[in-house]
Structure 1
């Protein structure tokens, strides 16, 4: 999802990827994402690094080395990046943070509903008592989570915070690192291959459409009178760029993302041939998207008038399956543009 406490969010305490990837321009970590990509968080030779007890491994984390079970069985995911990674790996967490089911992909919804929630309601703080009651042998979160009772959680079970704040593509890096912490670093290989094949196929199949279409990327945002513009270096921008997307001026000039006022809708989006935006899992524009779309300036945009608005609930991807689903939505848009 590294953000200051002033970051606008639908839930003040929610440490989710919607908050973390839907930040304003002042967010500290997302402005520094280009620094480096994450590395595999786990160490897997033998039973772990030298000095580890039998049945354990020592893995890297944002808090330094942490000794974890060689094969953890009861894992609590206190952020939805490791949760998404576990679902992608075919594993079910013992507990998860509750970011709200409207943001959970349909493919994971039944599993998600059955897993105990460890936050104080939807978007609330992580509750130590709820985590402890699940008797975890491993807890996984990310270093961007604020006011996290790390020491108390570490007293319950080994707690690994993944270095989100050093990641340019959290959906990929947090997945790879989660797999490493869980001791299954090769388990994502098939998904990595699928992603590479999918992006290559889209570039080839839709080369003509991709060459003539320029995209801007946006999210409705949470502050009245404001929406969020996403750039070529944002996670969703990187996924679409892998598939051959070209960007309009606004998303080309912007590295990651920024908050923009309604008054600037025309100046920022007027030269886009098509718009790609964030939806909830029922297909509606997410957050305050309906208010943005209702603005007269938005209705007069060339892309709007040409019916070239394309939504995706995977706009803020949490893992490889989300990235692949975002590519599916992008292909649906390309098919419509090709047929037009």
Structure 2
């Protein structure tokens, strides 16, 4: 996952206190048909294969239903689990939960299913390097990374190990819907993916209906740095998801954008007065930073900060749960529902 500022994200993207309860050892996660009930889930249709998925880096040809799936980047692990497939190897999310640990909602899913935990692939530098030897040891027959920062060189090297499903357009910009859809299709479980998306759509529609105060309000999301802030563009899923609630990305976000299609850009403190939005969403690494943010003199230049219209998200796990939400975090109470409550307070000021 991306480093703190970029991550916030998840760029990080996730967080919880879902304490994962231990469960008896269950079937190996080499069998993707295991479900939380222990019964066999609907298998990938044999008619679905071969599957070809073209990404910005190349085409993955998946000849038959994969049995040992590896995931990289953000959201694809949760997307796979949501359609009944438990990866044998997943990317490390060191900013969120520390080296070698699983995200709490991922760990809980494996525990509840009684499935063997996956190997955690080292990612100490936000994807700049890839742990090829660790991946080879996991022996995957498919690598799923639709929301990641894979380079062309990494894609080409990984393709010699197994088919690789990368992002359709640019690094770290794949929408949450597409992350779920692409992952499900690669696994031959497109229909299951549609059911997951339908459930999420219903959840978002209920949130929107409960908050008419969001309609037409503009938003901007940032991570405060030293002398500048990282501003998340409309291409970033953590901001895009909020437009499903009736909110709009502030025009100033696009007007100031220097990212050339990226998911964020740096804005100097000298230009903060130009970042005009009805509501500012501020992401932080901890509660101390969140408190300091509100009184930091330089940040008072942002109109929404000066007016007190700020929704804050702090601590790596919570930040990650909404940056953006994944197939397993939409309903986590301390994640998106909590952020929605904070956005509502700000929208009414």
Quote how far apart the aligned CAs of 1:117 are. Answer: 2.2
**Does residue 162 of structure 2 align to residue 157 of structure 1?**
yes
Quote how far apart the aligned CAs of 1:327 are. Answer: 4.4
Q: Distance in 2 between matches of 1:191 and 1:45?
A: 17
Matching residue of 2:106: 108
Kept in 1: contact 2:222–2:280 (CA 8 A): yes
Q: Distance in 1 between matches of 2:230 and 2:61?
A: 40
Q: 2:323 aligns to what SS in structure 1?
A: coil
Quote how far apart the aligned CAs of 1:247 are. Answer: 4.8
Quote how far apart the aligned CAs of 1:121 are. Answer: 4.1
Q: Distance in 2 between matches of 1:72 and 1:307?
A: 51
Q: Where in structure 2 are there 5+ consecutive unaligned residues?
A: 14-43, 112-116, 258-262, 314-318
Q: 2:166 aligns to what SS in structure 1?
A: strand
Q: Distance in 2 between matches of 1:217 and 1:78?
A: 25
Mark the CA change 1:98 to 1:112 in structure 2 (over 3 Å): closer, same or farther: farther
Q: 1:117 aligns to what SS in structure 2?
A: strand
**Does residue 66 of structure 2 align to residue 72 of structure 1?**
yes
2:88 to 88, 91, 94: 94
Q: Distance in 2 between matches of 1:291 and 1:261?
A: 18
Matching residue of 1:237: 239
1:96-133 CA distances to partner (integer Å, 9 max, x unpaired)?
A: 22231516754235569943222354646222211111
User: How many residues are matched?
Assistant: 293
2:210 to 205, 212, 216: 205
Quote how far apart the aligned CAs of 1:175 are. Answer: 1.7
Matching residue of 2:324: 317
Mark the CA change 1:93 to 1:252 in structure 2 (over 3 Å): closer, same or farther: same
Kept in 2: contact 1:164–1:170 (CA 8 A): no
**Does residue 266 of structure 2 align to residue 259 of structure 1?**
yes
Quote how far apart the aligned CAs of 1:186 are. Answer: 1.3
Kept in 2: contact 1:88–1:319 (CA 8 A): no
1:160-193 CA distances to partner (integer Å, 9 max, x unpaired)?
A: 3342429965222122111101111111223322
Query: What's the C-alpha RMSD, in Å, of the aligned pairs?
Result: 4.0
Q: Where in structure 1 are there 5+ consecutive unaligned residues?
A: 2-7, 21-43, 49-55
Kept in 2: contact 1:215–1:245 (CA 8 A): yes
Q: 1:187 aligns to what SS in structure 2?
A: helix
Q: Distance in 2 between matches of 1:87 and 1:283?
A: 31
Q: What TM-score, normalized by structure 1, do the two folds share?
A: 0.68
Quote how far apart the aligned CAs of 1:238 are. Answer: 2.6
Q: Distance in 2 between matches of 1:250 and 1:175?
A: 30
**Greater CA drift, 153-162 or 290-299:** 290-299
**Does residue 230 of structure 2 align to residue 228 of structure 1?**
yes
**Does residue 199 of structure 2 align to residue 194 of structure 1?**
yes
Quote how far apart the aligned CAs of 1:10 are. Answer: 5.8
Q: Distance in 1 between matches of 2:275 and 2:172?
A: 27
Quote how far apart the aligned CAs of 1:298 are. Answer: 1.6
Mark the CA change 1:323 to 1:148 in structure 2 (over 3 Å): closer, same or farther: farther
Q: Distance in 2 between matches of 1:57 and 1:162?
A: 19
Matching residue of 2:141: 137
Q: What TM-score, normalized by structure 2, do the two folds share?
A: 0.66
Quote how far apart the aligned CAs of 1:140 are. Answer: 2.1
Quote how far apart the aligned CAs of 1:244 are. Answer: 0.9
